[in-house]
Structure 1
Amino acid sequence: MESDALAQVLSPPLKRSLADDVAERLREAILSGQLAPGERLRETELSEMMGVSRGPVREALRRLESEGLVFVGRTGRTKVARLSLQDLDEVFSLRKALERVAIEYACEYATSEDLDELQAIVDDMAIALARGINEKEGAEFDLRFHDVVYRASRHQRLGNSWISIRSQTYIIMLSRNVASADFRDSVVHGHQEIVDAITARDKERALAVIEQHMFVAYERVSKSYGQTHIDLDQDE
C-alpha cells in the first residue's frame, strides 16, 4: 500500500466553498419569495450585495439552474424560473416514479428510528394544521416527511434523484391552500397511511397508498396552479 497516495485520497475534506454558501443563500431567497419568478439575476449586482467575487456567484447560479430554480434565456440573461404546467407535469411524473421505489425499499430497510421519526412528523403536522399554518410551513412538513422516507430506503442514488427535484417540489407545494378543511383532513390521513404501510412492511399496500397519495397531491396543485403560471417565453 502506497502511504503517500492513500494519504492524498484520504485527506481532510475541503471546507465549505463560497459557491456553496452563495447557492444556499440564493436558494433560500428564491424559495422564500424574496427573489420573484422572472426576476433577473445579474452576477455583478449579486457579487456586490454578497461581498464575493463573480466566480462563486457564477458557479452558484449554475447549480441553481441544474435544480430548475433559475434559467438562462436565449439572450444569456439569468432569471428566477417560473414553473409552468409542463414543469408541474414533469416534476410529478418523475416524483411518482421515485416515490414508488422509495416506499418499496423503505418497507424493507426502514429502522424503528425511521418509523418513529415519520410518526412524529405526522403527529406534529396534525397539531400544526389544527392550530393553523401557512403554505410555507405546510410544504416544510411535507418535505421533511418525504426526506425521511427516502433516507429510510437506504438507496443513495434514489436519494440523489429526489434532491434534484426537491426545490421545485417545494415551490409547487406553495400553491396549495392549506387553510381548507379538505386539505387538513386528507394530508394527515394520507401521510398516516404511508407510515402504517411501511410499518407493516406491506409493499403491495404501500405501493397502492403512494399511488393514491400522488394522485391526490397532483389533483390538488394542478387545480390551484392555474393557467397564470404558464410562461411560454421566459426570456422576454
Structure 2
Amino acid sequence: MTIDSPPNTSADLAYQELRTAILTGEVVAGQVMSQVQLAAEMNISRTPLREAVRRLEAEGLLTAESNRRVRVSELTLRDLDEVYGQRLLLEPLAVHVSVPQLTRDDLAEVKDALEASSAALRANDMEVFHEHHRALHLGIVKRVGPRLFRTISELWDHAERYRRVFLVEGVVDRRQQTICDHEDLVAAAFARDTSLCASVLIRHLSTTALTVFDYYGGPERPEMINLALERHR
C-alpha cells in the first residue's frame, strides 16, 4: 500500500492543492474565499473546483457560505479533542496489526524517515521535518487495511494544522523529546514489540495534545482524550 496516491483529474489536483494550503496554514483558519476567484487562480473550470470543495466540506476543512463562497474551518479545542481522541484509540490498534507485518524495506523506510526528521528538527527546518514526520508515523501503520489507513491518514493530517500552530506559537520547545519519542517508537517497531510501540505512541500523542490544552484550554477540558486514555490504563 502506498501512503499517497497521485492526483488524476483536475478535481483531484484542485482538492490536493487546496487541502495542502489549508493543512499547512497557507490559507488561514476562518478565511473566506470566493469559488469564482479560486477557479480563476487555479486555472480550472468551476465544475472540478466544486467537486474539490465538496470533498473538503465532507472532510470538515471547508464550510459553504452564501454567494458561492467558502470558509476555512476554524481551529477549536473541541475539534482538537476529537481528532486526538480518535487517534489515541485507532493508532495503537493499527500498531498491533501493522508492526508484525512490516517488511525489512518498510522498516528501512521508517528508519530513514526517523533520521531525516530528526536532522530537520535539529536544524529547525520545519517543512522538511513535517514531510518526514508524516512518513515515519504512517510508515509504522501502513500494513493495516485500507479503510483504517485512510482514516488514520486523514486524522494525522488534521492534527497537523494544530501541530503547526503549536510549534509556531512556541508553547514549549519539545524538539528533543519529540526526537526521543520517535527513536523509542522506531526501536519498538524494529523489535516487533507491539505493546511497547503502542505505549510509546500513546505517550507521544497524549503529551502533545494535553500540552496544547494546558496552554490554550482555560475552562475547556479534553474529554475525548481523557476517555481514550482511560481505555489504555
Shorter chain as normaliser: what TM range?
0.7 to 0.9
Deviation of the 1:226 alpha carbon: 5.4
Q: Which residue type is aligned with residue 55 of structure 2?
A: R
Name 2:162's counterpart in structure 1: 172
Q: Deviations over 1:93-149 (max 9, x none)?
A: 111112111211222111111111111221222222222233x44433321211211
The one of 68, 86, 89 aligned to 2:60: 68
Q: Percent identity?
A: 29
For the residues of structure 1 that align with 2:26 and 2:45, how far apart are their CA atoms?
Answer: 22
Evaluate the alpha carbon distance shift between residue 80 and residue 109 of structure 1 in structure 2; reply closer, same or farther with a 3 A threshold. same
Return the index of the structure with the highest Cα Rg.
Answer: 1
- Contact kept, 8 Å, 2:29 with 2:73, in 1: the verdict is yes
Q: Distance in 1 between matches of 2:65 and 2:77?
A: 19
Alpha-carbon displacement from aligned partner over 1:53-96 (angstroms, at most 9, x marks no partner): 21111110011112222123589852011121000000001111
1:84 alignment partner AA? T
1:209 shift after superposition? 1.6
- CA deviation after TM superposition for structure 1 residue 31, in Å: 2.9
| CA–CA distance in structure 2, aligned partners of residues 172 and 181 of structure 1 | 14
Q: Is the 8 A contact 2:118 2:129 kept in 1?
A: no
Could you say if the C-alpha distance between residues 119 and 224 of structure 1 is closer, same or farther in structure 2, counting changes exceeding 3 Å? farther
Matches within 5 A, 1:111-126: 111-126=103-118
After superposition, where does 1:176-215 map in structure 2 within 5 Å? Answer: 176-177=166-167, 182-215=173-206
Give the TM-score taking structure 1 as reference length: 0.79
For the 8 Å contact 1:100–1:207, the answer to whether it is kept is yes
How large is the RMSD of aligned CA atoms in angstroms?
2.5
**1:147 maps onto 2:138 in alignment:** yes
Q: Which residue of 2 aligns with 1:43?
A: 35
Name the SS for the 2:167 alignment partner. coil
1:64 aligned partner, one-letter code: L
TM-score of the pair, normalised by structure 2: 0.80
Q: Which ranges in structure 2 are unaligned for 5 or more consecutive residues?
A: 1-6, 219-233
- Taking the aligned partners of 2:8 and 2:34, their CA distance within structure 1 comes to 23
Q: Which residue of 1 aligns with 2:223?
A: none
Q: Match for 2:212 among 209, 221, 224?
A: 221
- 1:107 pairs with 74, 79, 99, which one? 99
Q: Which runs of 5+ in 1 are unaligned?
A: 1-14, 228-236
Tell me how far 1:49 sits from its aligned partner.
2.1
| CA distance 1:167–1:212, change in 2 (3 Å) | closer
* TM-superposed deviation, 1:218: 1.2
Q: Which runs of 4+ in 1 moved over 6 A?
A: 178-181
